[in-house]
């Protein structure tokens, strides 16, 4: 099996997955850079891209796993989805974005229950869903943080 140009471009998060080290963090940084494009933070637009890349990521993730092995570092489309989930409905302020990014990376690395268990699933589903779960945890933590900051 071989990946075509479009599959590599999308699946590797604009080739961030081919960075020699910390490709997940690099993929998350690229996703953050896209988020910083004016207007991209619009929840409707962001939810569309999260949904689209989640579905596409499952199919492309299957191919990446066939080519590179289980949950390959070259596949960073999952980092895009997780990053964007953590940034949903966030006030576009540098402090909140930085906090969300750090919490997202911690959740992605720690993989709290059930993310670690879901990661063991074969193919694109396992590749994508653990980062969706980590992204949801990040989203919830960041939203609670913002809520309490605004109450002070």
DSSP secondary structure of 13-30: TTTGGGSSS-HHHHHHHH
**Cα 13 to Cα 84: distance, rounded to the nearest angstrom:** 13
Give the domain range for residue 24.
Answer: 13-151
State the CB neighbour count (10 A cutoff) for residue 65. Answer: 19
Is the pLDDT at 130 greater than 90? The verdict is yes
Would you state the pLDDT for residue 132?
Answer: 98
| 3: in domain | no
Would you state the pLDDT for residue 100?
Answer: 97
Is the pLDDT at 1 greater than 80? The verdict is no
Is the pLDDT at 102 greater than 90? The verdict is yes
State the SS3 of 35-90.
HCCCCCCCHHHHHHHHHHHHHHHHHHHHHHHHHHCCCCCCCCHHHHHHHHHHHCCC
Half-sphere exposure of 9 (CA within 13 A, CB side): 3
| 138: in domain | yes
Reported in sequence order, the residue ranges of the chain that DSSP labels E, i.e. its strands, are: none
Read off the pTM.
Answer: 0.94
The share of the chain scoring above pLDDT 70, in percent, equals 100
| 8: in domain | no
69-90: buried (b, 16+ CB within 10 Å) or exposed (e) per residue? eebbbbbbbbbbbbbbbbbbeb
Would you state the pLDDT for residue 151?
Answer: 86
Provide the number of structural domains found in the chain. Answer: 1
Model confidence at 149, in pLDDT bands (50, 70, 90)?
A: confident
**Cα 50 to Cα 67: distance, rounded to the nearest angstrom:** 24
| pLDDT per position as a tens digit, 22-43 | 999 999 999 999 999 999 999 9
| 5: in domain | no
| 125: in domain | yes
Is the pLDDT at 16 greater than 80? The verdict is yes
| pLDDT per position as a tens digit, 57-92 | 999 999 999 999 999 999 999 999 999 999 999 999
Would you state the pLDDT for residue 15?
Answer: 97
| 53: in domain | yes
């Amino acid at each position: 099996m071989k990946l075509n140009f479009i599959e590599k471009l999308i699946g590797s998060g604009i080739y961030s997955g081919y960075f020699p080290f910390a490709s997940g963090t690099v993929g998350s940084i690229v996703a953050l850079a896209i988020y910083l494009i004016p207007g991209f933070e619009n929840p409707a637009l962001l939810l569309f891209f999260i949904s689209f890349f989640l579905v596409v990521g499952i199919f492309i993730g299957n191919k990446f796993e066939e080519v590179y092995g289980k949950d390959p570092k070259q596949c960073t489309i999952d980092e895009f989805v997780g990053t964007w989930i953590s940034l949903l409905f966030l006030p576009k302020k540098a402090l909140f974005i930085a906090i969300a990014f750090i919490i997202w990376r911690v959740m992605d690395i720690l993989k709290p229950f059930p993310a670690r268990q879901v990661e063991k699933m074969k193919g694109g589903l396992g590749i994508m869903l653990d980062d969706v779960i980590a992204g949801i945890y990040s989203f919830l933590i960041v939203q609670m943080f913002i809520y309490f900051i605004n109450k002070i």
